[in-house]
Amino acid sequence: MPNAKLRLTVPEEVWLGEITRSYPETRIRVLAAIPDGLSGVGLVEITGPTTDEVVASMGAQDDVTDIETLQRRDDEALVQFETSDPLLLLPARGSNVPLEMPFDIRDGEVTWSVTAPTEQLSELGGQLDEFGISFSVEYIRQEPDQERLLTDRQQEVIEAAVEAGYYDTPRQCSLTDLAAQIDIAKSTCSNTLHRAEEAIIKEYVKREIIGDISPV
């Protein structure tokens, strides 16, 4: 299933965009958000040197109908609020695309990571356009099948090798010592490690290297 990373620009007239642009050094991290009809409830973590000003500004917004500071310390605050204008939630709800939490809002910019079928991702793009939210796609990657990367035995041997220092530099454990430690033949240990390493390296290359250079 495709995984996409989107960068959104909050419209100037939306209160979240206005506040985060007024205090660009402070981050609003959305920990949870629930749409309720045309309103929404959010739980956010506010971090930065102007946290007090951001909380006060949120409370002064006409679109924020209720706000409560749950925790406060140093330059951080945990705030729950209700808004009559949950603009960022509406495109996701309209396209049935679940948002991955948390996500950050800073200086009018939002980064979303979403996983959904191609048709729903396309619908999300259409919904964002409909609500006047400009966005760019940083990447779209095809998530690997949910089959296990390693067998139970491969997992066991790899974990034992890491714990024993087999992959340390300099190496703290020889192949012979590792095989004796987990009570298998040296040749079996070598073959199991090789197959596990092959699977891990191929998966890494597919996701981190080939995925990054694939055209969107």
Predicted local confidence at residue 216, as pLDDT: 44
Comparing 10-14, 36-40, 45-49, the range with the smallest average pLDDT is 36-40
Q: How far apart are the first and last CA of the chain?
A: 15
Per-residue pLDDT band for 210 (boundaries 50, 70, 90) equals: low
Domain boundaries defined on the chain: 2-142, 152-213
pTM confidence score: 0.64
What is the average pLDDT score of the chain? 90
- In three-state secondary structure terms, 117 is coil
Tell me the pLDDT tens digit for each residue of 112-167: 999 999 899 999 999 999 999 999 998 888 765 556 788 889 999 999 999 999 99
**What mean pLDDT comes out for the span 157-183?**
94
Per the CB < 8 A criterion, the answer to whether 71 and 78 are in contact is yes
Contacts of 148 (CB under 8 A, 6+ apart): none
Average pLDDT over residues 32-57: 92
Instruction: Give the per-residue pLDDT at 204.
Output: 84
One-letter identity of residue 51? T
pLDDT for position 24: 95
4-24 pLDDT per residue, tens: 999 999 998 899 999 999 999
pLDDT at position 214: 46
- Confidence (pLDDT) at 209: 67
CA dist 72 and 92 (Å) reads: 30
